[in-house]
Chain A
Amino acid sequence: MERKIEEQESNTTLLGAVTSEQNGRTGSVLLDYLKCAAVGLKIDNINRSFGDNHVLRGVNLNIEPGETVVILGKSGSGKSVLMRHIIGLECPDTGRIFVAGEDINDPEFKRNHVLAMVFQSSALFNSLTVSENVALYLREHKIFTEESRIKEIVSSALEIVGLQGKEDEMPSEISGGMKRRVAVARALVMNPEVILFDEPTAGLDPMMTRTIGDLICDLKHQIQITQIVVTHDIDLAFYVADRIAILSEGRILEVGTPDQIRSSTNSGVIDFIKPQFA
């Protein structure tokens, strides 16, 4: 799927802001660099047990190219385990996961596809500065030979997530929300076809939650990247999702658009999405 470059002209969103007249030059550097096609993803009957604990019980899910799918579920329902399977950190007992038709456990898969993940803990390298964290992938894979190009991309990525000027800070010197945004910048410079967000707003204040939500929406609208968001934050789920999959006790209970989920008659879904303090 081609990126809709014309949408980058919008100045109503975070990404739009950096491509506006004021910041256009720097912000567009990353947007020009991000030119891989969005891909679809198919999760086919994934089962996974840890000892006697059967965490994933035949999970099936299809994700269209460029779609943002939120996997919603209560704590312990297997969301993060499913995410770790999609990124390749865990292997399923049975079942397969395909990205653009290729099995992610195929030895050739990593040569052809790049998936990035934003961890719940941000997982920044504490011994590296913010810019070194973001540049790590580019440097280790020698994507560019010129250091100036790497710095340009890193500055652009940090500007997109609203962290310009924080290049030389250490992760220990910035807030949790900033760390999460550095992790997004680090994922973006990988030029991924799919970005996975594991509880992106966990532990953040409402304003920062909104900022992260806006960032996910901006990526969806302007880069048209395939995104999978795992969360138990219902507000975030309805805000960013094209479709929502409700995961309960290792099974997908229901999949649908936010409106379909709101009007679901499934008692498990109703119990989960109804306001808890109303």
Chain B
Amino acid sequence: MEFLRTTGGLLGLFIETLYWCKSAISNSDKVFAQLYIIGNQTLPVGALIALFSGGVLALQAGPTLAQFGLEENVGGLVGLSLAKEIGPIMASILIAGRVGSAMAAELASMSVYEEIDALKTMDINPVRYLVMPRFIAMVLALPVLVIYMDVIGWFGGGLVALVNPEVHLSLDVYYRNLSELVDFVAVVNGLIKAMFFGVIISIVCCYVGLKTKGGPREIGYSVTKAVVMSFVLVLVSDYYITRILLFLNID
């Protein structure tokens, strides 16, 4: 019963948020404020994670490929892995952990301390005022963050491929192979996933936050619930989105 109620609630909030996207331009200041928060909280950490993730991919795959004389394919392997799977998943987990948790905490706190009720008494729709700007900002920011992390990850992979004596691949060869295998469609594949993950994280975190009742303890529970639910839904939906993209030949 709880599962059905939550699913219905999430869908309801998603539809209402889509409806209020009509007010996006007149609320662009709020969208930009959210974009600024997302950028501030994720860009430095995102760079660090991407650099080392790209590096570890090259570190793991490089020597194995070198055993078969295929070390020049490290670029393509790192590039495709990051562009289609690891980039969107990494960025989503980072955003859910850093931004989604803050969203859930802020909205949960506003619910508990009657701020949402105050908005309603002022005839200000909480979905338009609070959820829609977060939703749009996250759907726009996540693909951009994925591109940012992809590029840094590719660089990290190239760096490790260069300095690792078991691979010792020049940057020139690395990037030639990467650019041969990673085409525009592969990048678009990752960006489409990122947009869907942005929808999931923003709606889940806002929904859980808005539904919070009680006190400080419930705010903590809500944050944990929002982040865990986001992680699970992102990872599960990744499979189905991949199946759909394969079906549509966006691969």
A residues whose Cβ falls under 8 Å from a Cβ of B: 84, 87-89, 110, 114-117, 119-121, 123-127, 136-137, 140-141, 190
Contacts and interface: CB of A to CB of B under 8 A. Distances in A.
B121 A115 contact: yes
Contacts of B109: 126
Interface in B100-126: 106, 109-110, 113-115, 117-118, 120-124
A123 B124 contact: no
B113 A141 contact: no
9 contacts: A84-B117, A89-B121, A116-B122, A119-B117, A120-B114, A136-B122, A140-B122, A140-B129, A141-B124
Most buried by A among B110, B113, B121: B121
B122 A123 contact: no
Given A121-B113, A123-B113, A141 B118 contact: no
Interface of A is mostly: loop
Nearest to B113: A121
B80 to A, nearest CB: 42
A24 to B, nearest CB: 29
A123 B120 contact: no
Contact of A87 (B106, B115, B121, B124): B121
Given A119-B117, A121-B113, A123-B115, 7 more contacts: A88-B121, A89-B120, A119-B118, A123-B117, A126-B115, A140-B124, A141-B124
A137 B122 contact: yes
Interface residues of B, number: 14
Interface string B78-112: 00000000000000000000000000001001100
A119 B129 contact: no
A16 to B, nearest CB: 28
Nearest to B122: A137
A116 to B, nearest CB: 7
A-B pairs, 8 with minimum CB distance: A123-B118, A123-B114, A117-B121, A137-B122, A140-B124, A119-B114, A123-B115, A121-B114
B115 A125 contact: yes
A117 B120 CA distance: 10
Contacts of A84: 117
Contacts of A116: 121-122
A120 B110 CA distance: 14
Contacts of B124: 136-137, 140-141
Interface string B110-149: 1001110110111110000100000000000000000000
Contacts of A121: 113-114
Contacts of A110: 123
B51 to A, nearest CB: 33
B228 to A, nearest CB: 25
Nearest to B117: A89
A116 B121 CA distance: 6
A74 B113 CA distance: 22
Contact of B123 (A119, A125, A141): A141
A126 B115 CA distance: 9
B116 to A, nearest CB: 9
B127 to A, nearest CB: 13
Name, among A84, A110, A117, the residue most crowded by chain B CB atoms within 10 Å (CB to CB): A117
Nearest to B125: A140
Contacts of A115: 121
Contacts of B129: 140
